[in-house]
Amino acid sequence: GEDAVIGLSVETESLVKVINELPDGCIDYICVTAMHNPEGGCESTTAAYELEANHTTLDEAKINTICSASDFPVLVGGRTALDDIDTIAHTKAAGWFVSEALYSSETPESTMREFVEHWKAVRGEEKHGYAKRVIVAENSESKSSETQEKKPTFINAKEAKDAAKLAKQQRVDIAARGCTQRDKAHIRKTTPVHFEYEYGSYDLEVPYTEIKLSDTPGVGPNPPFKDYNTEGPKCDPKEGLAPLRLDWIRDRGDVVEYEGRRRNLQDDGKRAIKRGKASKEWRGRTHKPMKGADHPITQMWYARHGITTPEMQYVATRENCDVELVREEIAAGRAVIPCNINHPEAEPMIIGSRFLTKLNANMGNSAVTSSIDEEVEKLTWATKWGADTVMDLSTGNDIHTTREWILRNSPVPIGTVPMYQALEKVEDDASKLSWELFRDTVIEQCEQGVDYMTIHAGVLLRYVPLTANRVTGIVSRGGSIMAEWCLQHHQESFLYTHFEELCEIFAKYDVAFSLGDGLRPGSLADANDAAQLSELMTLGELTKIAWKHDVQVMIEGPG
C-alpha cells in the first residue's frame, strides 16, 4: 500500500548510481553496512558496503561520500555499537539501524533508549531525508499525463520505459471503455410480460437495449432500435444481483434446500491454506443450496413433460419468437437454457440453431496474476459489451471464492472446467486425480451455481495412441490432463466410466454439459484424423446417455 516503507541494501558504490535511476516512489531509503567487520569465525548477517575493493568498513568520510552520491536517504549500520551513534550523527546520514546490540541485551528497551538519546544529543528533534512519494490525487487535473507517465507507483527500474508505454496504452484503453457516448445512446429497458401456469403467476421484466438513432437528413427522426441486452441491472458488487428466478424455482415445489458440502480451504488452493482464509471472502447475499427432490429439475425435463416454464417465456420474449418453439427445441435437445437453480441471479438465455447467435467470453485468474476485484470487473465489462455467457477458467489463487463473487454478480450463465480446480487441489499432479476428488469438485460447483461445465469424457485410453503421429499433439488442456491420467494408470477415463453418475448429479441442479473435444486438432495437418473422429463418435454416445437423464447437452459449447 501507499504507507509501506521500503529500503534497499547496497553492497558496492557503483550500485548507488544505478539506484539513483529508479523512478520516485520505488524505495524510501538505502541501507549501507558495515560499521564493523564480523568477528573472526563469525559470518556477517548483513551485506558489506565496499567503497573500494580493499575497504570493508565505514568511517565518517566514507559515509559522507555515499550520502552525497545518493539521491535517496541513507541509513548506516552493521554491528552498530553505542559509540558509533555519535560518529553517524555527525555525518550526512539520514539515520541508523541496530539489531545485534538489542537482541544481545538483557534490557533491549533501555538499550534502545540510550541509542536514541545519543542520536538526539547531536541531531535534536530534527527530521529530514525522506524520499519523494508518488501519490496520485483523485480527480487531480494539475498533473499532466506526461508527468504521471514518468512517475509510475510500482515499477522495475530496468523496465521503466516499457512500463510507461504500457501505462499510456492502458489509459487509452480505459478511456475507450468509459464509453460515455455509447451510454448516452444505449439504454437498458425492460418489456413487461405477464406469465401464468399451474405453479404461479409472474410479471416478467425482460431486458432489451434501446439505441437512439440520429435523424435522417431531409426525412426526419428515426425511431429507436431495440437490441438484445446482456448487461444486467446495476448493483453493488459487494452485495450482488437480486435473485431474479428464486420464486420461480421454489414455487414449482420440486426442490429442497439443504446444508450442502462443507467448504474447506483446499477449495481455494494452497495459498489460502497457508493464509488460513481466502483473500476476500464473499459477504453479500447467500442462500442454502437447492437440489431436485423427486425428479430431474432440468428445463429439458419440463419441456418433455409439456410444461412451459417462466424461463422459456423469458427467452422467447428476448428472442422475439413463439414460446412453443423454445419448448420444442429444448425437448428435442437442439437447444439449451443453461440455468442452474443455485444461480437465480441469471437472466435466462437460450443457445441453439433456431435462435440468435451467442457470444462467449473467457476469463479467470492464474497463478501469476489477477485478483477477485479484477475478475468481477472483467465480468462487468464482458456483459456490458454483449457477452451472452462467461467461462471462469481460473487456475490460480482463491478459485472457490473468486467464482462465488462472479456468480453472485453475473446476469449471464457461468461455465467452468471443473478439472482445472481438481488439478489445483492435487498441486498439478495429474496422477493424483481420482473420481472421488473430481465428483466432490463438481458438487462444490453445482452448489455454488455453475450453469454449465466442460467435461472431457470422450478422451478414452484407446484413443490416446492415435495422437502419437500428430504434428501438434493434444492441444486441449483438459484433454491432455485426462490423456496423461489414462496413460499413467493404464485405466479408462473415470469421466467416461462414471458418466451416468455425473448425469444424475447434473439433473439435480439443472447443470448443462458442454462435452469438450479434448482431441480436437491443433493444426490443419491433424484435422479429421482418427483421434478426432473417434472422440466425436463417443461424444454422440454420451449425449444420448445424458438425454436419457433429461440433462441438457452442448458438444464443445461456450469457451
Three-state secondary structure string covering 290-345? EEECCCCCCHHHHHHCCCCCHHHHHHHHHHCCCHHHHHHHHHHCCEECCCCCCCCC
**Is the separation of the CB atoms in 260 and 289 below 8 Å?**
yes
- C-alpha angle with apex 28: 23 to 32, nearest 5 degrees? 110
What's the CA gap between 191 and 226, in Å, rounded?
Answer: 11
Reported as a pLDDT band with limits 50, 70 and 90, residue 490 is very high
Average pLDDT over every residue of 15-26: 75
Count of positions (residues) in the chain:
559
287 in helix, strand or coil? coil
Closest by CA position to 351, among listed 143, 47, 555: 555
Going 373 to 376 to 382 to 384, the CA torsion angle's sign is: negative
pLDDT of 2 reads 62
If you write DSSP's letter for every residue of 404-457 in order, what string do you get? HHHHHT-SS-EEE-HHHHHHHHTTT-GGG--HHHHHHHHHHHHHHT--EEEE-T
User: For residue 545, what pLDDT is reported?
Assistant: 98
Percentage helix, strand, coil, to 5, in the chain? 40, 15, 45
Decide if pLDDT at 366 tops 90: no
**Can you tell me the distance from the alpha carbon of 448 to that of 252, in angstroms, rounded to the nearest whole number?**
21
Strands (E), 386-447: 389-392, 414-416
Q: Which residue has the higher pLDDT, 19 or 301?
A: 301
Q: Contact at 8 Å (CB) between 49 and 66?
A: yes
Cell 522495475, located at residue:
156
Q: Quote the mean pLDDT of the chain.
A: 86
> Predicted confidence band at 41 (pLDDT cuts at 50, 70, 90)?
very low
pLDDT band at 249 (very low <50, low <70, confident <90, very high): very high
Domain 245-555: which topology? TIM Barrel (3.20.20)
Distance CA 483, CA 208 (A): 44
Supply 347's cell numbers. 437472466
Residue 43 scores a pLDDT above 90? no
What amino acid occupies position 104?
Answer: S
pLDDT of residue 292: 95
Instruction: Report the distance separating Cα 13 and Cα 140, nearest Å.
Output: 39
| SS3 category, 371 | coil
Local confidence band at 179 (pLDDT 50, 70, 90 cut-offs): low
The 10s digit of each residue's pLDDT in 77-105 is: 878 888 888 888 888 888 888 888 888 88
> In angstroms, rounded to a whole number, what is the distance separating the alpha carbons of residues 376 and 54?
57
Distance CA(52)–CA(344), nearest Å, equals 70
Grid coordinates 437495449 are at which residue? 209
**Angle CA(334)–CA(340)–CA(346) in degrees, nearest 5?**
95
Is residue 134 over pLDDT 60? no
Q: How much is the average pLDDT of 491-520?
A: 97
pLDDT confidence bin for 37, thresholds 50/70/90 = low
Could you state, in order of their start, the residue ranges of all structural domains in the chain?
7-38+55-123, 245-555
The reported pTM is 0.69
Q: Mean pLDDT, to the nearest integer, of 456-460?
A: 97
pLDDT at 464 over 60: yes
Query: Which segment of 1-5, 11-15, 256-260, 320-324 scores lowest on mean pLDDT?
Result: 11-15
Residue 103 · residue 90 · CB < 8 Å: no
pLDDT higher than 70, residue 146 = no
**What is the grid cell recorded at 351?**
443457445
Longest dimension (CA), the chain: 97
Buried b (16+ CB within 10 A) or exposed e, 38-47: eeeeeeeebe
Q: Which architecture does CATH list for 7-38+55-123? A: Alpha-Beta Barrel (3.20)
Distance of alpha carbon 231 from alpha carbon 186, whole angstroms:
11
In this prediction, residue 499 has a pLDDT band, given cuts at 50, 70 and 90, of very high
Cα separation, 521 vs 473, in Å, equals 8
C-alpha cell at 112: 534502545
In 338-389, where does DSSP find H-type helix? 372-384
- The kind and range of the H/E element at 74 are strand 74-77
What CA–CA distance (Å, rounded) separates 416 from 491? Answer: 25
Residue range 419-452, pLDDT digits in tens: 999 999 998 999 999 999 999 999 999 999 999 9
pLDDT at 34: 64
Confidence check: pLDDT of 68 > 70 = yes
Instruction: Say whether 245-555 and 7-38+55-123 share the same fold.
Output: yes
Question: What value does the mean pLDDT take over residues 227-235?
Answer: 93
pLDDT of the residue at 452: 97
Is residue 63 a contact partner of residue 70, using CB atoms and an 8 Å limit?
Answer: no
- Percent of the chain topping pLDDT 70: 85
pLDDT at 126: 77
Residue type, 254: D
In the numeric block, which cell numbers belong to residue 498? 462414471
Top pLDDT among 526 and 169 is at 526
Question: For residue 7, what pLDDT is reported?
Answer: 84
Here the contacts of 233-241 (C-beta below 8 Å, separation 24 or greater) are: 233/188, 233/411, 235/409, 237/373, 237/376, 237/380, 237/405, 237/409, 238/283, 238/284, 239/284, 239/285, 240/284, 240/285, 240/345, 240/408, 240/409, 241/345, 241/408, 241/409, 241/410, 241/411
pLDDT at residue number 396 = 83
Using one digit for the tens of pLDDT, what is the confidence trace for 271-325? 677 677 677 788 888 889 999 999 999 999 999 999 999 999 999 999 999 999 9
User: Which of 81-85, 253-257, 403-407, 436-440 has the least mean pLDDT?
Assistant: 81-85
Instruction: State mean pLDDT over 257-276.
Output: 77
- Residue 354, pLDDT > 60, answer yes
